[in-house]
Structure 1
């Protein structure tokens, strides 16, 4: 048999199956090979791209670096603006010339920056001899007319617009002990009239003795603060225009008080009631009726006692208890006082002026307490009445019936002569000069005032 070879295989051929697309194929071929028959697929142009780990990848924003740069620039600009604002220059007046300084810089920095040099004051002993030359204040500094202590120069800051005066330092005294003596104000009563009030409050003075800590010397510095004496003014009302009188009632309330109130209301006139404390406690309804009708209330002290015979705590108790009783009975607080019998001395004033707004007596006494009869009471008043008068009437159990009888006639007669009948406060209001100085509704004692001493007569001092 011939020895040859064939050009084809004699082995039976296996069935041929197309292999799946491999990595050696083009991408499009791989995608087509992976698709399933009958399935629908979207192309990139339809809005979907390649997925990564189940999330859509974000598109890189090419503008982000520029935005970061812009924000950084804005932040730097803001910081620079703040730094500038906090360190901006402002203008102050220094010894008459405008000077620019950094805001919130201290006065000491102003002195240092402008290289200011002044002569320091001396350190003095308590007797004014010099202990150390230039040992006193370094500079005399005023900011807007306020003297600044040298120890405060570094803490006193400038914000612009201040007026600063800097000059030679002042002399200073050595450290020393101060032995002070208070000088009590004296009391003087000036003028005459039915109304008394504090016109000038007394303010204590002060004298000092110094004992030097360095020199050991003692020096009497004399009066370092002048005393202001107290002045109580006594006056009467002089209406600026028109004719006015005030009806006032003492010693009430009584069982007749409400009848008096009804007459006053019916006639449409004003009045002032000075109530006695103990009687207010007995007749609270009557006191309330006065207040409810709108009439003015004052105190006639607590009991029918001569206040000039009392002093110290007894005097103050009579007055304060009287005010308290009126308030408790009527609900009205008052500091207006009529002393029993109209007696109130300089000593009474010196011990109690912090309690009362005014002490009021009268210009015209009706004499009703003598029980002369209603007609006589009216005649007494009408025979002497004058413009600005304060008329005294009595409201107690003894005179009450007479007062109730006389009052309508008296009101009609006064009105017939052209008088307007008002309360005490309203009467004071007709005198503009007096009204400017006196408010009977309150005590106006200043915080720095003190109760005065009564000046002694020369005869008393010699005795």
Structure 2
């Protein structure tokens, strides 16, 4: 039987064992103490305290360094003084200074530009950009200048403001060529430049309504008709005999005289007469003479509708080619009447219009002598003499023709066709002298007069 004293001893021994284990966790495994420090032997320090003290000793210097570095960064990027040249004067300013601040700090005075339309007309004075800026000799637009911050070392020029343009819309358009006339006096009209389309932007001011050209993507050109006389080069004495309104019953007589004299001429034939006398038309070509159009049935083309002009020319060209095998795009306008508007109406089917500078007025039936006198008076090298093959009795012309040839040959003149006459003048392109060129496929015919 256990006594009460034994129980007391066991209880005390148990308590001591439990006290001796306070603060030890996994003793044999090297775990750290966890109990109250008061339970540890004197001079013993817990491992957790050493760790915290190490962290403190390490972090504090790092935090101090971070503060110093941060302050240095702020100073370098926002507070550091730098030098710049402003309007030719070296200045010390804070890095990052804006142009507005620079103007204010340095007392720079500028005058604003104006508010203008797309074509440059002033809409409001003094309501343009307040100032202009160039940095290192490179101009900046106003928005970029306002956002600019000084870095140091720049050459900055601040001046008066530029004009500010009204808002505008932009439309890309295809602009067809116009028809221009180069010169207004001369026996020969020819297309010296074919037209092409210009592709460009057109700017329309939203306030003014004005329009101006913007970016040009394809530069076209206008169509040009040049008007001039023929001036043979190298002091050649050349003259061209021409006969209108045929072919006719007189054509063989003319051709025989020309052949006998060794002379060539040009016949401006009506399409309807070619259709009526195809053999005579073919004989003109076979004789070495030139055949061109005089329209189909002789209307005054100045007063004809555009389609009528085209039909008159194309029909006569076709009649000539069908009868002779020769192509031509040269013509003599009836009555010599052909204006810039008439040229516009051709739609580019013709290339050369031939008038004259010597009119025999044979249509008046003045007599052979008078016809000879009119043909030979005032002749010069490059002259084009007008006579007739059809349109009435031509017996006086037949009588006058040999005398005209003899008289002018005695004066040193050589008779040539219109193509030969044009070729004698170096200012006429080869395609014009050929009298059979056509509008290039790349060309665009004008729809209005320039």
Q: Does the alignment reach a TM-score above 0.5?
A: yes
Distance in structure 2 (CA, Å) of the matches to 1:357 and 1:267: 31
2:194 paired residue among 201, 218, 223: 201
Tell me, yes or no, if the aligned pair for 1:184 and 1:204 is still in contact at 8 Å: yes
Match of 2:295 in 1: 301
Match of 1:344 in 2: 338
User: What does 1:309-320 align with in structure 2 at a 5 Å threshold?
Assistant: 309-320=303-314
Q: Which runs of 5+ in 2 are unaligned?
A: 1-142, 145-169, 204-212
Measured at CA, do residues 209 and 433 of structure 1 come closer, stay the same or move farther in structure 2, by a change above 3 Å? closer
CA deviation after TM superposition for structure 1 residue 203, in Å: 1.1
Distance in structure 2 (CA, Å) of the matches to 1:194 and 1:279: 25
2:285 paired residue among 261, 286, 291: 291
Distance in structure 2 (CA, Å) of the matches to 1:228 and 1:383: 42
Match of 1:185 in 2: 177
Partner secondary structure for residue 408 of structure 1: helix
RMSD: 2.3
CA deviation after TM superposition for structure 1 residue 410, in Å: 0.6
Distance in structure 2 (CA, Å) of the matches to 1:200 and 1:437: 11
Alignment TM-score, normalising by the size of structure 1: 0.55
Distance in structure 1 (CA, Å) of the matches to 2:346 and 2:178: 14
Match of 1:273 in 2: 267
Number of aligned residues: 272
Distance in structure 2 (CA, Å) of the matches to 1:323 and 1:255: 21
Q: Which runs of 5+ in 1 are unaligned?
A: 1-128, 131-177, 211-219, 457-463
Tell me, yes or no, if the aligned pair for 1:300 and 1:322 is still in contact at 8 Å: yes
Match of 2:50 in 1: none
Match of 2:427 in 1: 433
Measured at CA, do residues 342 and 411 of structure 1 come closer, stay the same or move farther in structure 2, by a change above 3 Å? same
Distance in structure 1 (CA, Å) of the matches to 2:220 and 2:416: 40
Distance in structure 2 (CA, Å) of the matches to 1:447 and 1:285: 34
Establish whether residue 252 from structure 1 lines up as the match of residue 246 from structure 2.
Answer: yes
Tell me, yes or no, if the aligned pair for 2:242 and 2:265 is still in contact at 8 Å: yes
CA deviation after TM superposition for structure 1 residue 187, in Å: 1.3
1:354 paired residue among 348, 351, 360: 348
CA deviation after TM superposition for structure 1 residue 276, in Å: 0.3
Bigger fraction of residues in helix:
2
Measured at CA, do residues 436 and 279 of structure 1 come closer, stay the same or move farther in structure 2, by a change above 3 Å? closer
Distance in structure 1 (CA, Å) of the matches to 2:424 and 2:332: 21
Match of 1:213 in 2: none
Tell me, yes or no, if the aligned pair for 2:182 and 2:225 is still in contact at 8 Å: yes
